[in-house]
Chains A and B, each alone.
Chain A
């Protein structure tokens, strides 16, 4: 007869010395884990609740400006700093970690309309309504000391133009920058006159962005509700798209440089593929008032928008609705937003002269995490995503407190849209099939594309 019985010797299964780690033995058999789905569901519920408990996105406000903030710029080489320009001509460099002004630059006589930094981080270019464009050398600044007053720096070069400037952007990797106002002008750092000029139509061009992947491509938006694409190597503008409402700002997706998203006056953002402008790739709808500014995260997976309705929203790059909304009683109309270069923070500049620092993920634990903590957070995220469609979990995950005016405005918009839809359906039902065609949302707002 052959016999074997389970016999476990204690020293094989326990630790030898008290300094050793405890021994862990695993058996992944599902029959040792009855009701595993119920347990997972309870964990998902708890994870959703914990996420809401730890959701404290607002970090702090940086105040110092004495007028509304009109534009901001990131320094590609220096993670901790951000430039901001205000409506009274003041330009400051902020240290995000201490939330204090490092340097103050001589600004403009009127409002500063555009700020941008060169790709190597050495030059800051600003433009304003006083028809001037300043170039400032920003290398080698000391970090902020508690007692010292902000340093004042002299401008490197000031170029004067014929009309007020509305926006400025610098080429990625090159040494050209573009300013817009009455027309699009391409400048070189060293020349006091523009190298090239583009003109299409007679309206002001209000924003400009260079493509991160293709350095010679740039997109602009004008007051005649158009978005135009320009190629620097060609002498004429490339393509124009006319919509029903004006686009306030454009941002290219840094990970998919063919796509850009336009922040529009009609409370939505439209994502386009630059090769195919007759149809939007995605329409992002959640704001209740004009979207003023937009910036992509360096991961290319989400973007942040600031709107006239006093809120900042974060959208996924391919999703129609926002995943997060940030608002404060003290934050008034948001005119500019930036995603920090490490994809963890959002900086918003608003009408109430403050820059505000927010976390990109509201319940994220900042700082260095132990591997076990990291794993735990990942597990919580995964289990919550697995059950986020179930009603109890969904209710908690989706819940956001909205300020009363925005809640009311949203309801109103909902009513209006529903009424229009119903009318359309009735018209369709009472006419010959095929005579009334509903245009898809992605095409609805586009008037035409012009070559």
Chain B
């Protein structure tokens, strides 16, 4: 019934050399240092240099302590699956794994069949303890995954397209037929987001890029990526009307989108049966995996990629460290139920797939993060801890302006950029924006016969002209300058014999 063999006779169990150990320690140290230190040689200010030297030393000490902690004091070790001999990992089936694994883990492999209520979609809380599932025909359920207990089940009597948890398991949002609704853990409807002006809506944007089918949040920096039917992926932040990035990813519509938890990789799948892995720092393709039309994609905490195609779920892993994804495991759902959504469970080696007849859960060794942090996400949270955490999260709530592509830029010095003259298009855009702003102003309603239509029209015209005036003046200035330059040029271009005919300026 072996779990793992710590002292085995295989070649990999030879104790690593000192050099290898220190190299490994160095890589973990780099991870905790979070970037390069300040360049102290270039500083001339002695006081600042002294202060920074002390600080850099402190950072080094804390990074070393964290690296040592990671090496020696973590309670759990990650899972793995190794094939022996001519075996290949992607041919290993779930029942083979069941035989090798303890009873507690084998409880995580199951199929739940609910025939009537449509394809199921699901979502997990960040701690992986609770799961919210919703069937297309209105069945909504919250399940406690540790005890496999059904917390709340209800029928919303409308088409349900998607379900997500809000900050913890006490609130969830359901995308119903017309509007999204927010519910309590007890199933009480709290909000219907019908009227777009109630609540604190931060942004409402028209993409102009076509129908969107997929949307994901990048966990690293909080930007929202939306996949369009034209094959473009656009990334949005709440405070700007234009997308941050627009990438043309596929030749056809984008069917699935997923982000790696480190924020550097994105996987997209298009209808032309290719999965592309993108590097988000350079915005280029790292790898193309042909042959899959995945309806759903998901990255695990350890970087394994699950793709759900039809009734087959493929798990790809990056084992060489060079961002080259290859087959790791696969699973086909019994009786050919079509997979609607795949989702890895956080902090567990489990993949849950929502399909047309319910959901199934399988074991994928090595997909979950073995060590959780109590202050970040605690699968064993008590209600008191949950309440405290909620308050602390509220206190640390990020204002929408802090969401940006590179979140580590906060607190850094913006490099001084010489202000270039705005291009013609930019000026046009500014002019349009000013005119739009003026058009939105509501004019006072006058009474006693003073509210004639012609007067109102005249007033609006005057306002628009006033708004346009500074731009027109600037344009005239530019034109004047250009004309001046051209004049000078003209004068020098004349041949010598014709210079006598040039009109000279009267001497002052």
Interface residues of A (CB under 8 A from B): 1-10, 12-14, 22-35, 37-39, 41-43, 46, 386-387, 390
- Find out whether the CB atom of A42 lies under 8 angstroms from the CB atom of B79: no
Shortest Cβ gap from A351 to chain B (Å): 38
A–B complex contacts, Cβ < 8 Å, 22 sampled: A1-B84, A1-B96, A2-B4, A2-B81, A3-B80, A3-B100, A5-B101, A5-B349, A6-B347, A10-B380, A12-B75, A27-B369, A28-B66, A29-B31, A33-B376, A34-B220, A34-B222, A34-B263, A35-B222, A37-B410, A38-B398, A38-B407
B407 and A34 contacting across the interface, CB-CB below 8 Å: yes
Chain A residue with minimal CB distance to B66?
A28
Decide yes or no whether B149 CB sits under 8 A from chain A. no
- B377-395 CB contacts (< 8 Å) to partner A: 377, 379-380, 382, 385, 395
> Do the beta carbons of A22 and B396 come within 8 Å of each other?
no
Bound complex: CA of A9 vs CA of B79, how far in Å?
15
Q: Which residue of A lies closest to B260 (CB)?
A: A31
Establish whether residues B411 and A25, one from each chain, have CB atoms under 8 Å apart when the complex forms. Answer: no
Report B49 CB to chain A, min CB distance, Å.
Answer: 15
Given A1-B84, A35-B398, A37-B410, A10–B348 Cβ distance below 8 Å? no
Shortest Cβ gap from A85 to chain B (Å): 40
Q: Are B105 and A7 in contact (CB under 8 A)?
A: yes
Q: Which residues of A contact B70 (CB under 8 A)?
A: 27-29
A8 to B102, CA, bound (A): 11
Q: Which residues of the partner chain A approach B374 to less than 8 Å between Cβ atoms?
A: 23-26
In the bound complex, do residue A3 and residue B402 qualify as a contact, i.e. CB atoms below 8 Å apart?
no
Tell yes or no: B363 within 8 A of A by CB.
yes
**Which A residue's beta carbon lies closest to that of B85?**
A1
Contact A31:B402 (CB < 8 A) given known A41-B411, A387-B411: no
Measured in the bound complex, the distance between the Cα atoms of B385 and A34 in whole Å is 21
Chain B neighbourhood of A10, CB < 8 A: 146, 380
Query: A26 is contacted by which of B101, B262, B348, B373 (Cβ under 8 Å)?
Result: B373
Across the interface, A4 reaches (CB within 8 A) one of B92, B365, B376, B377, namely: B365
Contact A8 B408 (CB under 8 A): no
B397 sits at the interface (CB 8 A): yes
Closest 7 CB pairs of A and B: A38-B402, A27-B373, A28-B66, A2-B82, A27-B371, A4-B4, A3-B100
Asked whether, in the complex, the Cβ of B80 is within 8 Å of the Cβ of A4, the reply is yes
Q: Measured between alpha carbons, how far is A25 from B127 in the docked complex, in Å?
A: 13
- Check B45 for interface membership: any CB of A closer than 8 A: no
Residues of A within 8 A of B79 (CB): 3-6
Q: Indicate if the CB atoms of A3 and B222 lie closer than 8 Å.
A: no
- Contact assessment for B32 and A28 in the assembled complex, using a CB-CB cutoff below 8 Å: yes
Report A-chain residues with C-beta under 8 Å of the C-beta of B398.
35, 38-39, 42
Task: Tell me the smallest distance from the CB of A161 to a CB of chain B, in Å.
Answer: 47
Give the Cβ gap from B425 to chain A, nearest Cβ, in Å: 31
A13 to B347 alpha-carbon distance, docked (Å): 14
Interface centre among A24, A26, A390 (most CB of B within 10 A): A26
Q: Are B3 and A4 in contact (CB under 8 A)?
A: yes
Measured in the bound complex, the distance between the Cα atoms of B85 and A2 in whole Å is 11
Distance of A8 Cα from B127 Cα, bound (Å): 14
Residue B74 is within 8 A (CB to CB) of chain A in the complex:
yes
B452 → A minimal CB distance (Å): 49
Minimum CB–CB distance for B205 against chain A, Å:
22
Min Cβ gap A307→B in Å is 27
| Contact partners of B399 in chain A: CB under 8 A | 42
Is B37 an interface position by the 8 A CB rule?
A: no
CA A7 to CA B83, docked complex, whole Å: 21
The residue of chain A having its C-beta at the shortest distance from the C-beta of B378 within the complex is A25
Chain A's closest residue to B373 (CB) is: A27
B34 CB-CB contact with A under 8 Å: yes
A390 / chain B contacts, CB cutoff of 8 Å: 411
Residue-wise interface mask of B (41-74) relative to A, using a CB-CB cutoff of 8 A (1 in contact, 0 not): 0000000000000000000000000100110001
Q: B69 contacts A28, CB within 8 Å?
A: yes
Q: Given the interface contacts A4-B3, A10-B146, A25-B75, does A30 sit within 8 Å of B407 by beta carbon?
A: no
Closest to B402 in A: A38
Interchain CA distance A27-B377 in the complex, whole Å: 11
Given contacts A6-B105, A42-B396, 9 further A-B pairs with CB under 8 A are: A3-B365, A4-B79, A9-B104, A26-B69, A27-B369, A34-B220, A34-B222, A42-B399, A43-B395
CA distance A26 to B396 in the complex (A): 19
- How far does the alpha carbon of A22 sit from the alpha carbon of B105 in the complex, in Å? 25
B286 located at the interface, meaning its Cβ lies under 8 Å from any Cβ of chain A in the complex: no
B440 CB-CB contact with A under 8 Å: no
CB-based contact A1/B83 at 8 Å: yes
- Say yes or no: is B330 at the interface (Cβ < 8 Å to chain A): no
Contacts of B171 in A (CB 8 A): none
Residues of B within 8 A of A42 (CB): 396-399, 402
By beta carbon, the residue of chain A nearest B395 is A46
Cβ distance B242 to chain A, nearest Cβ, rounded Å: 22
User: What's the nearest-Cβ distance from chain A to residue B505, in Å?
Assistant: 34
Decide: A43 near B220, CB < 8 A? Known: A28-B69, A30-B31. Answer: no
Tell whether B497 is near chain A: CB-to-CB under 8 Å.
no
